[in-house]
Amino acid sequence: MTSIVLEGPIAEARERTVRLLQAIADILAQMGTEHAEDRRRLQQNAADLQEMFFLVVVVGEFNAGKSTFINALLGDELLPTGITPTTDAIELIRWAPRRQSEFTWREQGVVREWLHPNTGGPGVVIVDTPGTGSVFRKHEQIAKSFLSRSDLVIFLLSAKRALAETERLYLELAKDYGKKIVVVINQADLLQKHEQKEVLAFVRQQLHELLDLRPEIFMVSAKQALKEKGGGLFAGAAHDPGGMNAVRDYLRSIFERVPPAKQKLYAQLDFAESMIRRYVAALEAQIALVRGDTTLTENLREELNRQAGTLDEQLSAAQRELDRVFAAMRERGSQFIRRNLTLQRAPRVLDREAMRAEFEREVIANAPDQIASVSEQYVNEVVDSSRRYWRSILDRLTALQTSLDREIGRVDATGYAEQRAALQAAIAIADAELKSYTDDSLAENLRQSFRANLLGFSTGFTAALGGIVAVVLGVAAHGAVTAAVGSILATFVVGPTLLVGGGTAAVLYWRKMKRDAERELDKRLSALQLSYRQALVDLTSRERSRLLQYGQQILSPVFSQLSVLHDRYTSQKNALQEQAAEARALRELLDAIEIIVDNQPQPK
Ligand SMILES: Nc1nc2c(ncn2[C@@H]2O[C@H](COP(=O)(O)OP(=O)(O)OP(=O)(O)O)[C@@H](O)[C@H]2O)c(=O)[nH]1
Ligand SMILES: [Mg+2]
């Protein structure tokens, strides 16, 4: 015996739908803990589809013989039966390849679960309920919820009792739920043949008049049938004194009518697809967010590069200023040489201290202040622009963080936690950088090194000048001639002889000496000027590399976090889209399954 519900294309579609729902649940599990509720629903639906694909619920007054009837269907005395109200919880008999004689609590004290191979096939569940009107109706709500989920309601009446009020209410409820209802009149053995006919006619009339129902009605003796022990739902007994074979045949025909099964699968596909749509949209929002963050971070990096470039202009302006100061000093220096390197004044030149004082007053003059002000101004510009820069970096990072925080509630908190940590590290470093500019060590260092260089220059040059003159006059004490003027000394070594000779030669000699002195001055000033320029360049490149280093080392983790997130979300989205394709394929499979149109009268 076959059943379309349990074998063939519907069974295949059911298996694939179960896998589809589980696959979506697995993807949600990867997406974080906050989707637990949806995941649970998906898993629940998958389990229902697998285990409770076809739900047959038996209801009726206590003692009508519901449990006995189910045992007769199974051909096995599985459920307890008794003359007093017996069934005190909902009994759920699930298909399994092997009988299990012990039940387990599916829901403690409320729903018992049995496993039996004769329910009809995998996915078919038979549900026994405490009798209507019995003392065990405390599980009313749960009984009703099974009724609402059922695919077939078997209404069991006792042949000895008229339709009770509670039964009528239950029938009405099942009818309202739009359920397929079968009525079974049990305990037929207690009646004579002609009485059976009368009862049947009476029940048929009552159902019609009171409830406007025209269901299939069977008359059986579950007690007798059970004695025969037919081999289960689809294995009718050869000898059938209880009349159960007719019920079995009918149930099988119901199972073969696919529409309810197809509709169930369609409903699950709708459910799966709406889940997929919802989560794909969420992932797309997350991907867009990551892209936005990536753009923000990229802008930051560009700003870093731009910032490193902006100092160039200030640097060359400062250098031009320095050059002007040095040009003026050079001019004053050559005047100083012209004025002092004469025969008359030569002896004065030898007074080193006086010469140095005069040189500092006339040549160096206010150059130190000018240089200090140029360098200070430049340092200030560097500091200002760096401060501005770090401030704007901080602002942007904070904006990024705020946008993250706002989105975290909506999206994947786990993924963003890592991203946020990287960002916070970057913020802390930018903040420390910004604060480091509050003491002006940068300016002070530069100022001090400039001043020291300039004083060294002044002493050095006057010593050199004195050396030149001393050599010329032939009075040079060897100790006075510093190593610094060694090269000049060589030029002037013949001086005294020429001076004694006097005349044009002497004049020419003085000219040459002045030229040499000017050259010496120029050489020294150029070296000094170069060292100042270099100091500014060094300062600038130190700043620049600080910024670039930040860009590489600090922003990189933020970047790599973002790309990790981007990849993760994209692969999750792809996985969901694969499942969407599977759902579409399943829908086509279902569409193609031929259905047997159910011509049986339907309730309602
Ligand atoms: N004569 C006769 N007795 C039956 C038949 N079916 C059940 N009984 C008896 O009726 C009594 C009640 O049977 P159960 O199967 O426990 O009835 P139930 O509807 O499950 O009752 P609750 O669980 O209390 O709601 C038991 O003593 C059964 O032996 C039948 O076809 N003929
Ligand atoms: Mg019972």
Mutate to test the pocket of ligand 1, among 59, 61, 67 (most ligand atoms within 8 A of CB): 67
Rounded alpha-carbon distances, angstroms, from residue 398 to 211, 290, 375, 418: 69, 16, 34, 16
pLDDT the model gives residue 208: 93
User: Could you give the strand order of the β-sheet that contains 90-95, starting from the edge strand earlier in sequence?
Assistant: 100-107, 111-116, 90-95, 124-128, 54-60, 152-158, 181-186, 216-219
Per residue in 379-429, pLDDT (tens digit) is 888 888 778 877 877 887 787 777 677 665 555 556 667 767 777 777 788
Q: Which atom of ligand 1 is nearest to the CA of 128?
A: 20
Q: For ligand 1, atom 16, which residue shows the shortest CA distance?
A: 81
Q: Which atom of ligand 1 is nearest to the CA of 130?
A: 25
Mutate to test the pocket of ligand 1, among 68, 126, 132 (most ligand atoms within 8 A of CB): 68
Nearest ligand to the CA atom of 68 = 1
pLDDT the model gives residue 16: 95
The residue extents of the domains of the chain are 54-256, 286-589
Residue 245 Cα, ligand 2 centroid: separation in angstroms? 21
How far apart are the C-alpha atoms of 501 and 470, rounded to whole Å? Answer: 18
How far apart are the C-alpha atoms of 360 and 521, rounded to whole Å? Answer: 13
* Cα-to-chain-centroid distance, residue 136: 51
Q: Which atom of ligand 1 is nearest to the CA of 68?
A: 15
- Contact indicator for 451, 372 with CB cutoff of 8 Å: yes
Say whether 321 sits in a helix, a strand or coil: helix
Residue 172 Cα, ligand 1 centroid: separation in angstroms? 24
How far apart are the C-alpha atoms of 348 and 470, rounded to whole Å? Answer: 10
* Confidence label for 235 from pLDDT (cuts 50, 70 and 90): low
For residue 28, give the nearest of 19, 39, 20 by alpha carbon: 39
* Confidence label for 500 from pLDDT (cuts 50, 70 and 90): very low
How is domain 54-256 classified at the architecture level of CATH?
Answer: 3-Layer(aba) Sandwich (3.40)
* Confidence label for 67 from pLDDT (cuts 50, 70 and 90): very high
pLDDT the model gives residue 490: 35
- Contact indicator for 226, 187 with CB cutoff of 8 Å: no
- Kindly state the average pLDDT of the residues 299-308: 75
Residue 65 has pLDDT above 60, yes or no: yes
Instruction: Give the residue, 588 or 406, on which the prediction is more confident.
Output: 588
Instruction: Give the residue, 218 or 88, on which the prediction is more confident.
Output: 218
* Confidence label for 120 from pLDDT (cuts 50, 70 and 90): confident
Nearest ligand to the CA atom of 73 = 1
Instruction: Give the residue, 111 or 123, on which the prediction is more confident.
Output: 111
Q: For ligand 1, atom 8, which residue shows the shortest CA distance?
A: 65
| 8-30 and 259-340 helices, crossing angle to 10° | 30
- Kindly state the average pLDDT of the residues 148-152: 86
Residue 91 has pLDDT above 90, yes or no: yes
Residue 71 Cα, ligand 1 centroid: separation in angstroms? 11
Residue 59 Cα, ligand 2 centroid: separation in angstroms? 10
Strands 100-107 and 111-116: antiparallel
Q: For ligand 1, atom 29, which residue shows the shortest CA distance?
A: 82
Pocket of ligand 1 (CB under 6 A): 62-68, 81-83, 85-87, 130-131, 134, 186-187, 189-190, 221-223
Single pTM value for the model: 0.62
- Kindly state the average pLDDT of the residues 254-275: 82
- Contact indicator for 74, 118 with CB cutoff of 8 Å: yes
- Contact indicator for 442, 385 with CB cutoff of 8 Å: no
* Poorest-pLDDT segment among 97-106, 125-134, 184-193, 250-259: 250-259
Q: Between the ranges 203-207, 383-387, 392-396, 465-469, where is the mean pLDDT highest? A: 203-207
pLDDT the model gives residue 7: 65
Per residue in 503-531, pLDDT (tens digit) is 566 667 677 777 877 888 888 888 888 88
Residue 602 has pLDDT above 70, yes or no: no
Nearest ligand to the CA atom of 62 = 1
Q: Between the ranges 216-220, 338-342, 485-489, where is the mean pLDDT highest? A: 216-220
Residue 220 has pLDDT above 90, yes or no: yes
Q: For ligand 1, atom 9, which residue shows the shortest CA distance?
A: 65
Residue 72 Cα, ligand 2 centroid: separation in angstroms? 13
pLDDT the model gives residue 186: 96
Residue 179 has pLDDT above 70, yes or no: yes
Give me the residues near ligand 2 (ion), CB cutoff below 5 Å: 66-67, 86-87
AA letter at 144: K
Q: For ligand 1, atom 12, which residue shows the shortest CA distance?
A: 63
* Confidence label for 540 from pLDDT (cuts 50, 70 and 90): confident
* Confidence label for 188 from pLDDT (cuts 50, 70 and 90): very high
